Amino acid sequence: MLVLSRKSNEEIVIGGNIRVKILEISGNRVRLGITAPNHVPVLREEIFARMEANHAGELEFELAGSSAG
């Protein structure tokens, strides 16, 4: 993991086409602005984890259904 320090209004560039800008720092919260191509999904970690869990549940259901026949 790369760890960087940034101040408000500074940016990080990833792969030349993704930009993460520090918009505001307030106490222990940081507001980020993310610019990425439309084909790159940008999700909060908890949403991504929920989607993965739902997808895993769907796969289990499909596997159980295919063995029943």
Q: Do the bridges between strand 18-26 and strand 11-14 make them parallel or antiparallel, or are there none, so unpaired?
A: antiparallel
Dihedral sign, CA of 4, 45, 27, 24? positive
* Residue 59 pLDDT level (bands cut at 50, 70, 90): low
Q: Where are the beta strands (DSSP E) in 1-69?
A: 11-14, 18-26, 29-35
Q: Give per-residue pLDDT as tens, 8-54.
A: 999 999 999 999 999 999 999 999 999 999 999 999 998 888 888 88
pLDDT of residue 60: 62
State the pLDDT at residue 18: 97
pLDDT(67) > 60:
no
Q: Which residue has the tokens 């999904």?
A: 41
Per-residue pLDDT, 65: 62
Q: Is the pLDDT of residue 69 over 60?
A: no
| Beta partners for residue 34, in sequence order | 20
